[in-house]
Amino acid sequence: MARCIIITPLYAGEESAWLRKGEGDLLICADGGYRAAMSHGIVPDVTIGDFDSLGYVPQGREVIQLPVHKDDTDLAVCIGMGRQRGYREFIVAGAIGGRFDHTLAALQCAADCAKRGERVWLCDGQNRVTVLAPGDYSFRPVAGRKFSLLAYTPEVSGVTLSGTMWTLENAALRHDYPLGCSNEWVDGEARLSFSDGLLVVCISGDCC
């Protein structure tokens, strides 16, 4: 499936193989993500933002300037642009870290996409994070990473997990207790299903 790749200001060159643009992919820079992308030799198809963090309006193939005072974040507008152009899978690079409110806002964008039947991966050098709607999923091991499941909604029910050190069978996860944190792959792919709620999946490594 073709992907919409969004580069944000905190991008530092990580996940270069995963982010390499393939056939049919759309690459968008969100505001200061333009500077970050260009510093790593990445040329965007579209650059979107109010450009308060970049400090100037860049030149490029397609540049969309937004008003500074608006309801949507630059990232939400970028995702909406990708959606209008037919994309349903998004990778957002540099979306974790820095201002905590921005990280939570990015997670909320991922949750909104999950409810629409879309998939957003937020990533930095240590983490890949997504929000899932009910269904059946599988996840391949990533070397040096832990596998965590955390409730986004107050309760996520019918959770069944196999292929990991700690398994679950028709369990409930709550948003006020981190039962699913820091699991590990033991048998190839991790296989996950659940029936209700929204679930955060974190594939995370230690910083050192």
Q: State residue 55's pLDDT score.
A: 86
Of 79, 102, 125, the last residue of a domain is: 125
- Which of 69, 103, 125 finishes a domain? 125
Domain extent at residue 152: 135-204
Residues 95-151 have pLDDT tens digits of: 898 899 999 999 999 999 999 999 999 999 899 999 999 999 999 999 999 999 999
**pTM for this prediction:** 0.93
- Give 85 or 1, the one with higher predicted confidence: 85
More confident residue, 68 or 167: 167
CA 88 – CA 74 distance, rounded (Å): 18
Residues 109 and 151 grouped into a single domain:
no
- Residue 78: the pLDDT is 95
Q: Is residue 84 part of a domain?
A: yes
How confident is the model at residue 27, as a pLDDT?
97
Across 58-85, average pLDDT: 90
DSSP 40: T
Instruction: Please say if the pLDDT value at position 208 is more than 70.
Output: no
Strands 89-93 and 119-123 come out as parallel
Overall number of domains in the chain: 2
Tens of pLDDT, residues 182-191: 999 998 999 9
> CA 13 to CA 69: how far, in whole Å?
30
- Residue 68 is predicted with a pLDDT of 83
